[in-house]
Amino acid sequence: MTHVVTTACVDHKYQECVAVCPVEAFKEAETYLVIDPDECIDCGACVPECPVDAIFADTDMPDGEEHWLQRNEDESVDAEIATGESPVLAD
């Protein structure tokens, strides 16, 4: 299992999630974050922190968002670890 960042993060890139993650699971895409499924320990701590409700367990993906599971997995491979210090694009 893993948690997954979905469409709502795109062009927002709030990063409260990064601060509460106990491992280095969040990675930087250009306009959003992704979660590395090899790092995520499924603690769920990030879910309530997201102001746009972008994060879901892979077992509870909303309709139409399922493709983000593969995107998070693929795009996290070569991405930098998120530090929480990138610009928030919604501002």
The contact set with ligand SF4 (CB under 6 A) reads 3, 20-23, 25, 35, 40-46
Closer CB to ligand SF4, residue 30 or residue 38? Answer: 38
Closest contact distance (angstroms) between CB of 8 and ligand SF4 is: 15
Closest contact distance (angstroms) between CB of 31 and ligand SF4 is: 19
Nearest CA-CA partner of 18 in 10, 6, 28, 8: 28
What is the Cα–Cα distance from 22 to 72, expressed in whole angstroms? 18
For 90, counting Cβ atoms within 10 Å of its Cβ (0-12 exposed, 13-18 middle, 19+ buried), the class is: exposed
Closest contact distance (angstroms) between CB of 7 and ligand SF4 is: 17
Element spanning 27, H or E: strand 26-28
Closer CB to ligand SF4, residue 81 or residue 90? Answer: 81
